[in-house]
Chains A and B, each alone.
Chain A
Amino acid sequence: MSKKIRNNPLGINMDRRLFLKGAAAGLAATALPAAAEAFDMSAFLQKHFREMTEDEIKKVIARLEKEASLEWKKDIHISAAKATPGVKFGYGLDLSRCIGCRKCVYACVSENNQSRSPQVHWISVLRFKKGEKWIDLENSEKYYNPKQVPEKDFFYMPVQCQQCENSPCVKACPTQATWKEPDGIVVIDYNWCIGCRYCMAACPYGARRFNWSKPDIPANELNAETHYLGNRPRYKGVVEKCTFCIQRTRAGKYPACVEICPVGARKFGNLLDPKSEIRYLIENKRVFRLKEDLNTNPKFYYFFAT
C-alpha cells in the first residue's frame, strides 16, 4: 500500500506513520487530526454531484483522474455519461439455471474495482438445500465451498442490489448521497457519502457494502474504464454497491455478470421497451421478486424458465 499522501496542494510529502508518531507526541497541539489523512481543500469542499454544473463536473473529474493516475501509475478514465431517455433498466435471473459457480461474483469484482483485501463482493450467491423451506433465507449458506458445482441436493440464488423503485436506502440517507437515476439505477456519490451506514441498515437485501478500510486494488488489475457514479476507485469509509454496471450499460453493453454467466441465467434489458427480452420474461415466465411484502418494488426479477 502506498504511504504517499495522495494529492496535496501544499506539496508536503510526509510519511503517514511518521506523522502519526508526531501527532501522538504532541497530541494536545494537534488541532486538526485531519492532517493525518490526505487533506485536499478542493476535495473537501466538493459539491454534491447533482448540484454541480457541467463545467464543475469536468473539473472534479479531471482532479479525480489525476489523483487516481498518481496512485495507480496508469491513466484512468472517469465518465459522467447521463441516463438515456426512455430507458429503465431491469434484470432477470433464472433460478432454474443458476449453478452457483460464482463466476458473476468475481467478474463483478474485477469489472467494478472492488477491494481485494479485505474482499468486497457486490453479489452474494446463497445456497439452499432442496426440500427445505427457503424463502425466509435463514437457512441459506453464503460460504459454501464444494469441489464442484452444481451440487445434487442444492439450488442457488444470487442476490445483489435489486435497484428498488421505492428504495429504502434512498429514503434513509441523511445527505442525499444516494439516489435513483432516471434510468432506474440507484447510485452513490462516493465524494458525498459521509459513511453513516444508515442506508445499510435500511436495505432489505443486504446489497450495500462499506469500505471498512482503504480498498486495495493491485494496479495491474484496476479497470481503468470507469463511471463517476459506478466503478471508479472508492475511498475508505464510504458505501458502495451494484450499479447494474452503469459504466457499461449506459454505453450500450451488458453488465459484466450477464456476460460472464456460463449458463445464461442472467438477463438484462430495458423495461420500457415492450420488445425487450426482459419484458418478454416478465410477461411470459413465472416471475417473482424478493420480499415483495416490503413494497420496495425491485427491478430485479427472479424467474423459472424451465
Chain B
Amino acid sequence: MKVLFAAIGNVVKGDVRYYAWLAFLSALIVAGVGAYLQQFDKGLIVTAMRDQVSWGFYIANFTFLVGVAAAAVLLVIPAYLYNFKPIKEIVLFGEMLAITAVTMCILFIMVDLGQPLRVWHLLPVIGRMNFPASILAWDVIVLNGYLAINVLLVLYALYRLSMGKEYKLALIFPLILLSIPWAVSIHTVTAFLYNGLSARPFWNASILAPRFLASAFCSGPALMLIILQLIRRFSKIEIDQKAISKIAELIAYTIGINLFLLGAEVFKEFYSGSIHKAPLEYLFFGLHGNSRLVPWTWMALLFNITAFIIFLIPKTRESFLTLNIGAALIIAGVYIEKGMGLVVPGFIPDTLGEIYEYWPTMQEVIITVGIWAFGALLYTLMVKFALPIYTGGLIGAGKQRS
C-alpha cells in the first residue's frame, strides 16, 4: 500500500524538464479541447470533410493508432512464451503503450461522431448494437476488450512488482494467451471495417488486412524503440541492448513484408488496369489534375525503403544514430501510408465518380494535436507511476519516506 502511495507521490515529483513537459502537453490539450468545443457547437462543418469524403484526418489517426496498439503483441509473445529475458523486462512499457494508443483511438472516434452524446447507442444491452452484422460493432468490442486485457496485465504486473516479487505466469497465463490473438484481431477487424465495403474498390481488396498487420508491425515496435531509449535515458532502468537489437531485427522483416505486399497491390491494380485503379492512381500520380496526396505518397515510400535498408544492414541497425533515424522514418512512413493514404483515397473518386480533394482544416489539426498531447501525457504519467515500482526503488525507500 505504502508503495502505491509513494508511487502516486512520485508522479507529481520531478525536475524542471518534467514540469515543462507536462505544462507543454497541457497547453496543447487545452487548445484541443477549446477547438473541440467549437466543433461541438457548430458541427463537423468546421472540418474539411464533406459528403464526398466523409471520413478524414480523425479516422486516419485512429487507423494508425490501432496499428500501434496491436504491435504491443510483438513484445508480449517472446516475453511471456519464450521467457526471453531482456524483452520481458520491457514488455510492461509495450502494454502501457497499447493502453495509451487504444485510449487515443477511442478519443479519435468520439471527436469524429456527429452526435457524441448518443455514443451509448452502440453499446450492447443499453443501446442497440448491430452485432454481428456491423463490423464497426465488432471493432467496438475488440478495442474495448483489448484495452481491458492490457489494463489488467499492467495492473497485475505492477502489483506483483510492488510486492517485491517477480510477476508469475501461471496466474495470468490464460489472459496473456488471449491477448495475443486479440491484438491481431483489433487490427484485422479494423482492416475489415474498410475491407468489407464493396462500394469502395480501393479498400475492397483482400490484401488490405495483411498489409494492415505488416505495417503495424513496422511502426509499433519502432515507436517502442524510441520510447525505450528515452526511458533508459531519463531513468535508472537498464534496458538491455540485446532487447533493442532484437526489436530492430524484427522491424527489418516486417518492413520487407510490407513493401512486398504494397508491390503486389500496385502490380495488380496497374497491370490489370481496370477503372478500380483510380484511387491508387490518385495516390501515386494524381487524378485529373488533383494531386494533393502525391508528394506525401512518394515521401512515405521513400521513408519506408530507406528504413528498410537501415534495419536490414546489421551495422546501421546497431548504430544508435542510424537506428533512430530508421525508426523515425518508418513511423512517419507508416503514419502517412496507413493514415491519410489509406482513408482518403477510399473516397476519391467517390461512388458517383466525383473528385473532392480533402485536406484537414486548422480546427481538425488542433483537435488532433490535442489528442496526441493527451496520449503523450497519459503515457508519461503512467511511466512515471510505474518506473519506481518497476525498479523496486520504492520498496526500501517507502519506509524511509513515511
A residues whose Cβ falls under 8 Å from a Cβ of B: 16, 20, 23-24, 27, 33-34, 36-37, 44, 48, 51, 118, 124, 126, 136-140, 142, 159, 168, 170-177, 192-198, 200-206, 208-214, 235-239, 294-295
**Given A126-B352, A138-B275, A201-B55, do A20 and B41 touch, yes or no (CB 8 Å)?**
yes
**B54 CB within 8 Å of chain A:** yes
Docked pose: A177 CA to B127 CA in angstroms: 11
B residues whose Cβ falls under 8 Å from a Cβ of A: 30, 33-34, 36-38, 40-45, 47, 49-52, 54-55, 109, 112-119, 121-122, 127-130, 133-137, 140, 193-194, 197-200, 275, 278, 346-347, 349-354
6 A-B pairs with C-beta separation under 8 A: A27-B34, A175-B128, A175-B130, A194-B113, A206-B52, A213-B43
Q: By the criterion CB–CB under 8 Å, are B140 and A174 in contact?
A: yes
Q: By the criterion CB–CB under 8 Å, are B128 and A51 in contact?
A: yes
The residue on A at minimum CB distance from B276 is A136
17 new A-B contacts, CB < 8 A, other than A36-B37, A175-B129, A200-B51, are: A23-B37, A27-B30, A33-B37, A37-B41, A48-B121, A48-B128, A173-B130, A173-B134, A192-B118, A193-B118, A197-B54, A197-B114, A201-B54, A203-B199, A204-B198, A205-B352, A212-B44
Q: Report which of B38, B49, B117, B350 forms a contact with A34, defined as CB distance below 8 A.
A: B117
Docked pose: A259 CA to B349 CA in angstroms: 32
Docked pose: A95 CA to B129 CA in angstroms: 40
The minimal Cβ–Cβ distance linking B345 to chain A, given in whole angstroms, is 13
Q: Report which of B37, B118, B275 forms a contact with A20, defined as CB distance below 8 A.
A: B37
Q: By the criterion CB–CB under 8 Å, are A195 and B50 in contact?
A: no
The A interface is mostly helix, strand or loop, or mixed, namely loop
Docked pose: A197 CA to B250 CA in angstroms: 37
Q: By the criterion CB–CB under 8 Å, are A201 and B197 in contact?
A: yes
Q: By the criterion CB–CB under 8 Å, are A177 and B121 in contact?
A: yes
Q: By the criterion CB–CB under 8 Å, are A172 and B135 in contact?
A: yes
Docked pose: A284 CA to B193 CA in angstroms: 41
Q: By the criterion CB–CB under 8 Å, are A206 and B351 in contact?
A: yes
Select the residue from A33, A212, A294 with max chain B CB neighbours within 10 A.
Answer: A212
Q: By the criterion CB–CB under 8 Å, are B51 and A210 in contact?
A: yes
Q: By the criterion CB–CB under 8 Å, are B134 and A206 in contact?
A: no
Select the residue from A16, A176, A196, A237 with max chain B CB neighbours within 10 A.
Answer: A196
The residue on B at minimum CB distance from A33 is B37
Q: By the criterion CB–CB under 8 Å, are A192 and B40 in contact?
A: no
Residue numbers in B under 8 Å from A37 (CB-CB): 40-41, 117
Docked pose: A48 CA to B121 CA in angstroms: 9
The minimal Cβ–Cβ distance linking A3 to chain B, given in whole angstroms, is 11
Q: By the criterion CB–CB under 8 Å, are A118 and B45 in contact?
A: yes
Docked pose: A263 CA to B69 CA in angstroms: 58
Q: By the criterion CB–CB under 8 Å, are A212 and B115 in contact?
A: no
Docked pose: A173 CA to B193 CA in angstroms: 11
Residue numbers in B under 8 Å from A175 (CB-CB): 118, 121-122, 127-130
Residue numbers in A under 8 Å from B130 (CB-CB): 173-176
The minimal Cβ–Cβ distance linking A39 to chain B, given in whole angstroms, is 8
The minimal Cβ–Cβ distance linking B117 to chain A, given in whole angstroms, is 6
The minimal Cβ–Cβ distance linking B346 to chain A, given in whole angstroms, is 7
Docked pose: A124 CA to B275 CA in angstroms: 22
Q: By the criterion CB–CB under 8 Å, are A174 and B136 in contact?
A: yes
Docked pose: A214 CA to B49 CA in angstroms: 15
Residue numbers in B under 8 Å from A193 (CB-CB): 114-115, 118
Docked pose: A206 CA to B349 CA in angstroms: 11
Residue numbers in A under 8 Å from B45 (CB-CB): 118, 212-213
Docked pose: A197 CA to B130 CA in angstroms: 15
Q: By the criterion CB–CB under 8 Å, are B114 and A124 in contact?
A: no
Q: Report which of A44, A139, A239 forms a contact with B353, defined as CB distance below 8 A.
A: A139
Q: By the criterion CB–CB under 8 Å, are B128 and A192 in contact?
A: yes
Residue numbers in A under 8 Å from B52 (CB-CB): 206
The minimal Cβ–Cβ distance linking A45 to chain B, given in whole angstroms, is 10
